Structure 1
């Protein structure tokens, strides 16, 4: 597929005929990243909502389409809202909404803040420019988790504003110190958060995204946004990854496979803690050398989090696990899951 990395389309207050009958038909009508501007009461203010940086994460698109096609029944948004739909080609590849990025492509959400202006890096720059040109009050990037999971937010900084924005969607936020070329790591001179709405096939995840957009639209421009609920703060997770050329399998029993074998129900740990001594899978004769868990100083701290019991991969301490997935492609090309030792509690106003 030939991709024009230097093109982006703008739609202004689109009519129903442009939005098509459903979100799938609308997606199929798009050829390139698309910016949709909706006018609000305070036309000097704008908020930005980004989605489909990954082509297999549909909740943001579904919610945006639902909200746009409901505008006649909803109050006028308090401010202008700019929606940006990004990886259109990957999302449109068959089967629809199944590919994170195209074969031979790269992850668009690893291309921001990098001094290149070709290919996916050029597209990332176009998206950044589309955000900066409206000087937004805040930026929200809507995603789905790679496995079944409750919703949570991720932010590189935490203030009252990021916590309030989190509460528009969910009740937990991760303070992340990671630098992986993601959109929300960029400095837009405003609060910027990622919302992991839940699993891509979970109707509740689509509802999380829609209710959050409604909350954004109805929130008056203000220095302090109203907090909807208490929010748990989780500090600086690390990404558990495979080392190069390590094989990965999933199973309920170990059958001597090379590399790393994770439990085939690993996604259950997204819904709670993994206690000290909990077995998560099995390792071959190389043991923990198959894995790396890099901290902010790029040191492998795998031994602080995991240990071996015979050939079993075991939690060395009580852990919280996020974004565990049985999607082998994502696990091998991104990470097995995110992990922290403990949370910091809740914050309420």
Structure 2
């Protein structure tokens, strides 16, 4: 697929004909990344929503289209609203919303900031970095008072928010979507790591095929656009903060399998129900899978300094992969492509109080 990475399309206060009858028709009508601006009561301010950074994460687009087509146009949002729709070409590949990025490309949410120049090797990958800069520009040019980036997990899981800082604003924004906010200090080239001089949160709405995830995204958009002052928002829900998750990854060329029992596969084998840990906790000494004779050397768990701390979180019992502490897992998936090319899951240590509270 030939992609023009140098272009981004702008629409202002689109009519229903531009939006089409449903989100599928709307997606297929777009030629590339698209910015939609909606005029608000206070035209001196913008609130920005980013969606579809990955083509297989549809909740943000579905919710955005629903908000645009169901709102009373006489009731303006409190400020101007800017929606930025990113990986249109990947999302439109058949079957719809099944492709994270196009062939030969890379995850655009690893292409922001200095990280990109060290990871891009082909012209197509450099094109993804060029698009990331266009998306950054589309945010910076309106100097927004907040940015919310809407995502899905590839597998079922609860909704949670992520931020690089914990402030009253980020807690308040998170409360419109979730009761959990994760403080992350990872540096992986994501859009959330960039400095936009305003509150920025990422929302993991839930599983990509989960209707409830689409509802979470829509309800959050509806409430944020109607909120008069995001500088002080009354929190409807208490928000629990979870600190500094790490990403469990395979080392290069290590094979990954899933199974209900030890089948003796090479590399790493995770339990085929690993996704269930997204809804609860993994206890100390609980087994998550199996490893071959290379043991924990198949895996890496890098902290923000780039140090591998795998031995501080896991150990092997015979050939089983076992939790050294009480752990909380996020975004565990049985999607082998995502698990291999991104990470197996995110993990944090829990205290006994967090396990039983």
Normalised by the length of structure 1, the TM-score is: 0.97
Distance in 2 between residues matched to 1:140 and 1:231, nearest whole Å: 17
Could you tell me how far 1:73 is from its partner in structure 2? Answer: 7.0
Distance in 2 between residues matched to 1:110 and 1:297, nearest whole Å: 18
Any idea what SS the aligned residue of 1:122 has?
A: helix
Contact 1:169–1:209 (CA under 8 A) maintained in structure 2: yes
Normalised by the length of structure 2, the TM-score is: 0.94
What is aligned with 2:111? 111
What do residues 219-251 of structure 1 show as CA deviations (whole Å, max 9, x unaligned)?
113522222210010000000000010000001
Q: Does 1:161 align with 2:172?
A: no
What is aligned with 1:230? 238
Contact 2:151–2:204 (CA under 8 A) maintained in structure 1: yes
Any idea what SS the aligned residue of 1:66 has?
A: helix
Contact 1:43–1:80 (CA under 8 A) maintained in structure 2: yes
What is aligned with 2:191? 183
Moved over 6 A (4+): none
- Cα distance 1:257–1:19, how it changes in 2: closer, same or farther (>3 A)? same
Q: Does 1:24 align with 2:32?
A: no
The size of the alignment, in residue pairs, is 345
Distance in 1 between residues matched to 2:156 and 2:256, nearest whole Å: 19
Contact 1:8–1:35 (CA under 8 A) maintained in structure 2: yes
What is aligned with 1:76? 76
Any idea what SS the aligned residue of 2:205 has?
A: strand
Q: Does 1:140 align with 2:148?
A: yes
RMSD value over aligned CA atoms?
1.4
Q: Does 1:247 align with 2:255?
A: yes
What do residues 273-327 of structure 1 show as CA deviations (whole Å, max 9, x unaligned)?
1000111000000000000001111111111110111111010110000000000
Contact 2:281–2:329 (CA under 8 A) maintained in structure 1: yes
What is aligned with 1:263? 271
What is aligned with 1:300? 308
Could you tell me how far 1:254 is from its partner in structure 2? Answer: 1.1
What is aligned with 2:292? 284
Q: Which runs of 5+ in 1 are unaligned?
A: none
Distance in 2 between residues matched to 1:248 and 1:91, nearest whole Å: 26
Q: Which runs of 5+ in 2 are unaligned?
A: 118-124
What do residues 7-53 of structure 1 show as CA deviations (whole Å, max 9, x unaligned)?
00001111111111100000000011000001111111110000000
Any idea what SS the aligned residue of 2:176 has?
A: helix
